[in-house]
Amino acid sequence: MTAIAPVITIDGPSGAGKGTLCKAMAEALQWHLLDSGAIYRVLALAALHHHVDVASEDALVPLASHLDVRFVSTNGNLEVILEGEDVSGEIRTQEVANAASQVAAFPRVREALLRRQRAFRELPGLIADGRDMGTVVFPDAPVKIFLDASSEERAHRRMLQLQEKGFSVNFERLLAEIKERDDRDRNRAVAPLVPAADALVLDSTTLSIEQVIEKALHTRARNWLSHKRPNLQYPRCNGMTAGMLNNPIRHGARWTLNINLKIKHD
């Protein structure tokens, strides 16, 4: 009998800390990683590279079905590898964003990418980052986490990110945009942004980096993972001040950490 790879799904709105949590857990457990939010951008870039018409659903479906993409997290940094090439920066360009909007509108392309995302489920396991991972893509995942945070806190985090890049930001406008996107995502007819019925819901508004990871690993994942891997020692954050641990985002700390996970088998 072929073993079925376990999956931990992490869903939630933008700015809640999903990416950081997923990268930390993937590195800690040495599992595969899926960043579903980047999938449409990767497909759009592949179409541009291969001169495939992004306005043609018929041309895009076979490309989506055989999309050669990997996500690799190293020391808290995510690399998006398309056909063996690191395209982490290239998929963030406006040209790719515009093309991604077009390809995402086609139902058969979405269906092909759904199958492609499910193909990421390989041993030893998968950490899946998205908005409908636990409800649509991997409804049978044994561990589901829904990571949330207040719209104000997420706007503040985004503001700091943009300011760090040299952009001038209006907080109230940013907050309004986040609330508008939340409303759209939570109320859309197809795959709305809602926790799975069996998901652990975590609010990261006032939690530190370490607290989010500890809760994710201990509260729900620990019982299941310890069945597979007894004597797990969980990750700790090193070199952070008390203030940064209490609220790392407001102290300008990046959501990166050193993971020390030692596994002993019986």
Q: Which amino acid is at 129?
A: D
Check whether 13 is labelled as a binding-site residue: yes
Query: Is 6 marked within a binding site?
Result: no
The verdict on whether residue 84 carries a ligand-binding annotation is: no
73 in helix, strand or coil? strand
Long-range contacts of residues 59-66, Cβ cutoff 8 Å, at least 24 apart: 60/103, 60/106, 60/109, 61/106, 61/108, 61/109, 61/112, 64/103, 64/109, 64/112, 64/113, 64/116, 65/112, 65/115, 65/116
239 annotated as ligand-binding: no
> Residue 215 annotated as binding?
no
Annotated binding residue 16: yes
In a 13 Å sphere around the CA of 225, the CA atoms on its Cβ side amount to: 27
Provide the pairing of β-strand 69-74 with 77-82: antiparallel
> Do 38 and 71 meet the contact criterion of CB atoms below 8 Å apart?
yes
Q: Is 20 assigned to a binding site? A: yes
Task: Tell me: is residue 15 an annotated ligand-binding position.
Answer: yes
* 64 labelled ligand-binding: no
List binding-site positions for ATP.
12-20
Q: Which residues are annotated as a binding site?
A: 12-20
